[in-house]
Amino acid sequence: MDKKMRVGIVFGGKSAEHEVSLQSAKNIIGAIDKMKYDVVVLSIDKKGSWHLHQNPDFLLCEDNLQELQIEPTNEEVALIPGEQSTQLITTSNKKTMNEIDVVFPVLHGPYGEDGTVQGLLKLANIPFVGASVLGSAIGMDKDVMKRLLRDAGLPIAQFLVFKKSSISEITFEEIEIKLGLPFFIKPANLGSSVGIRKVKKREEFEQAVHNAFQYDTKILLEECVLGREIECSVLGNDNPIASLPGEIIPHDDFYSYKAKYIDEKGAFLEIPAKLPDNITEQFREYAIQAFKVLCCEGMARVDFFLRENSEIIINEINTIPGFTKISMYPKLWEVSGIPYAELIDRLIQLAIERFKREQQLKTSVLNDKEW
């Protein structure tokens, strides 16, 4: 029997989406094919330290997202690159622990989904699931993301960007003229609706700006697009495929953090979405185009709006979408013919495929005859 591949599931992290990451990791660890893979459970705490968990029940208060936390461990670990695989060593006595063949990052938000961990894993010379450094960084920065989509001729909503240093230039009157009412204010580098406020009147404006700047030094102000909220999952490297689209029907004013992860009744998910065939295919085509334009690989979820006149607007892309029990990414693939365990397997194989391709690239010109 062939040796099983050792997959490091890395989760947690320093972002505001730490608790969501724990839920996603728990689901992936539960669903991964144990006959094919050995799982190495690696958490990153809110201070940035890495921990190895021998106990598969590594979550405390897992039924309550607001109190959810990682079970403490006595030992911190670090990654050490090797010729064939990456090793873990303890930071206290430098004892060698598990080897890892591939990493599945399940880190949402900054310090995990933004290219930082991806850069670390590239330096450690280890394959990893999902977008690489550039695609991850672009996907996290809504400002850069939207500008690239716009320059590629893809449809997006009107938006304005301000840095904290220019906060005095942000006036409600100017924003109302340019974007209309209501409009959204959100941190440029964050996901899962964290820090987002919908502004309907002047009295809500300053607090919404202040709130968004608590999470990032750059904020996005965006027009409110009236329409249906549609999402589409993408899978692949050079030749990605798109799932059937699904629709989110929030019970609140918009698809909030609470509706996504805390309240299972916070939104109704129509999977697949009830759409004409031509509109369904347009969503899938736009999802693949956005995936390619934004330099993504492995996986992503593309979020859209559909106006009453059938105009499609691309909202954003998520390069490490949620994998919780109510998350759209795996649910969309399930109705599109790829079950959860097979989806995880495909993502791991895509990571290995990309790694092998990159290993063929030259890293020196000293022995190159053309040099």
What pLDDT shows up at residue 253? 61
Dihedral pair phi/psi, residue 147, rounded to 5°: -65, -40
Laid out side by side, the sheet with 159-163 consists of 159-163, 218-223, 183-187, 197-199
Domains located in the chain, CATH noted: 5-129 (3.40.50.20), 158-223 (3.30.1490.20), 228-338 (3.30.470.20)
What pLDDT shows up at residue 326? 80
**Two structure tokens written together for 95:** 């004892």
What pLDDT shows up at residue 63? 62
Looking at residue 101, what DSSP letter applies?
Answer: S
pLDDT tens for each residue of 141-187: 999 999 999 999 999 999 999 999 988 889 999 999 999 999 999 99
Q: Which residues lie below 8 Å from residue 195, measured CB to CB, with a gap of 6+?
A: 16, 186, 187, 211, 212, 214, 215, 216
Residues of the chain with pLDDT under 70: 1-2, 56-68, 82-85, 191-193, 252-266, 366-371
pLDDT tens for each residue of 78-121: 888 866 667 888 887 777 877 899 999 999 988 999 999 999 99
d(CA 183, CA 176) in angstroms, rounded, equals 8
Q: What DSSP line would sit under 46-72, residue for residue? A: TTS-EEEE-SS--EESTT-TTT-EEPP
Q: Which residues lie below 8 Å from residue 339, measured CB to CB, with a gap of 6+?
A: 333
Q: What DSSP line would sit under 105-154, residue for residue? A: EE--STTTSSSHHHHHHHHTT--BSS--HHHHHHHH-HHHHHHHHHHTT-
Q: Any bridge partners for residue 99, and if so which?
A: 87
